[in-house]
Structure 1
Amino acid sequence: MADSALKNQLTEAMKDAMRAKDKARLGTVRMALAEIKRIEVDERIEPDDSRVLSLLEKMIKQRKESLRQYEEAGRTDLADIEQAEIAVLQEFMPAALSEQELDAIITQALSDTDAKGMQDMGKVMAAVKPQVAGRADMGAISQTIKSRLSNI
């Protein structure tokens, strides 16, 4: 089975962090690799790049939520750790889409699915998701699609 390029990139980053004795970066990269390994063991599959990407996206989302909670509680020490982990994980994510690119993808999906209203939300999301995976916040995209569908 072929390894995912993203998993190989994470492995190389782990080796580089070991050589540089960068404990914070090493810990974050190892945590991501451990999650990939958990999927390999639990599901007996070799995750492809899209699966690894969604895993990294989930990890970033979890850290953003923790960051928000730590900031609300005034725990800047813990918030700084979460922020550092987010920065390391985002290095492995593809470049974010611009507003114009997102708008074009959503417009194309609306026309491709022949969406007539809110009942077509699922079809539009299904068309958009593969194109924007890891490159945009799905919550924001969902809100944009809802507002566009409610105006149809």
Structure 2
Amino acid sequence: MSLTNRLMTDLKAAMKSHDKTALSVIRMLKSALMNKKIELGHELNSEEELQVVVSQMKQQKDSLAEFEKAQREDLVEDTKAQMQVLSQYMPQQLSEAEVQEIVQQTAAKIGATSKADFGKLMQAVMPQVKGKADGNKVNQMVKDLLQ
């Protein structure tokens, strides 16, 4: 089932159950997907849909950090609930051990051994873990490996 079809099904279910949080998140995600479709000028493939979902999750994480910094507990709770709904549309996240293994295998394959190879290694690793692992954690693992 495509993401768009899944969103329509979930939207109907959220309407029937009067789940305002899920309803707003699904509408936000549908809107973001439509905007991306208009921007690109064609139907989105699964990779582009994933990119939109990851982008929306990143925005929610950034908002959460700002709300926590401002000590706005009401907004923190709302944002966490929204992230919970949005996480249903994210791909299965890789464990730290799996990411570490990918980083090590890729480093061995391209021969990255020093800090000078950082950019080359990141460029090779990120497409493999895109949307499945936090970029900051991958960055830190690559730095630790190349020291």
User: TM-score w.r.t. structure 1 length?
Assistant: 0.87
Identity %: 34
Pick aligned residue for 1:97 from 94, 97, 112: 94
Is 1:17–1:23's contact at 8 Å kept on the other side of the alignment?
A: yes
Q: Name the count of aligned residue pairs.
A: 147
Q: Does 1:120 align with 2:117?
A: yes
**C-alpha separation in 2, matches of 1:12 and 1:134:** 23
**C-alpha separation in 1, matches of 2:4 and 2:18:** 21
**C-alpha separation in 2, matches of 1:119 and 1:69:** 34
Q: Does 1:47 align with 2:44?
A: yes
Q: AA paired with 1:64?
A: K
Is 1:63–1:86's contact at 8 Å kept on the other side of the alignment?
A: yes
Q: Which runs of 5+ in 2 are unaligned?
A: none
**C-alpha separation in 1, matches of 2:130 and 2:3:** 14
**C-alpha separation in 2, matches of 1:43 and 1:30:** 20
User: TM-score w.r.t. structure 2 length?
Assistant: 0.90
Is 2:36–2:52's contact at 8 Å kept on the other side of the alignment?
A: no
Report the 3-state secondary structure (helix = DSSP H, G, I; strand = E; otherwise coil) of the residue aligned with 1:91: helix
Moved over 3 A (4+): none
**C-alpha separation in 2, matches of 1:25 and 1:132:** 27
**C-alpha separation in 2, matches of 1:64 and 1:133:** 17
**C-alpha separation in 2, matches of 1:116 and 1:139:** 20
Q: AA paired with 2:47?
A: S
Deviation at 1:145, TM superposition (A): 0.3
RMSD over aligned CA atoms reads 1.6
